[in-house]
Amino acid sequence: MAKLIAFFQATLDGYFAGVNGDVGWAHEGGDDPEWKAFVEGNAAGGGRLLFGRVTYEMMASYWPTPAAAKNDPVVAERMNGLSKVVFSRTLEKASWSNTKLVKGDLAGEVRKLKQSGDDMAILGSGSIVSQLAREGLIDEFQVVVAPVTLGKGKTAFEGSSVRLKLTRTRAFDNGKVLLCYEPAG
């Protein structure tokens, strides 16, 4: 069965986005060579990417552009080449390369995808993370804690209560810390 990883950045006070969806703070520290190598290595992981509509639209507006190819050529190539699924009740079409639009049952579709054998990663997409965490469908949570606080914002675990077990950590010179967890039960 395929493994499903939720990967997102969060502030020290636990928000993956500001009140109005701002994630600009997550791009700080990108000049750290170790962080850049980590991001490129993650992008080379393969598998399938899962998104909610908001994150999909943000990613699709950047990664297929000449700016992305110039600024982040390794990541851009991988992001554009990987198979992607966007879950949305409102999106009419998904035009980013290799993207399937799913309007139906999120948990049911993810259960089917897990049977396919291709590992998957949810990037950002707090609503999707929260819903799938409640269903027990996420095998690993990779949370990068950024050295910033927002005071208020959106949490990836809204409405979810999940017990987790720490499996590994990694600190970067830019102040970010990767925390990896598996469900503890």
In the chain, the domains with their CATH numbers are 18-159 (3.40.430.10)
Contacts of residue 112, Cβ cutoff 8 Å, sequence gap at least 6: none
> How does residue 156 score in pLDDT terms, banded at 50, 70 and 90?
confident
Average confidence score pLDDT of the chain: 91
pLDDT at 44 over 80: no
Read off the pLDDT of each residue in 124-135 and give the average, rounded to a whole number: 89
pLDDT of residue 118: 84
Alpha carbon 173 to its chain's center: 22
> How does residue 84 score in pLDDT terms, banded at 50, 70 and 90?
very high
Per the CB < 8 A criterion, the answer to whether 132 and 157 are in contact is no
pLDDT at 16 over 80: yes
**Strand ranges (E), 103-174:** 120-123, 140-146, 164-171
pLDDT at 20 over 90: no
Q: What sign does the dihedral 50-132-40-11 (CA atoms) show?
A: positive
pLDDT of residue 127: 86
> How does residue 19 score in pLDDT terms, banded at 50, 70 and 90?
confident
pLDDT of residue 161: 85
| Rounded-to-integer distance, Cα 62 and Cα 68, Å | 6
> Phi first, then psi: what are they for 67, rounded to 5°?
-60, -45
> How does residue 65 score in pLDDT terms, banded at 50, 70 and 90?
very high
pTM tops 0.75, yes or no: yes
Antiparallel, parallel or unpaired: β 48-52 and 83-87: parallel
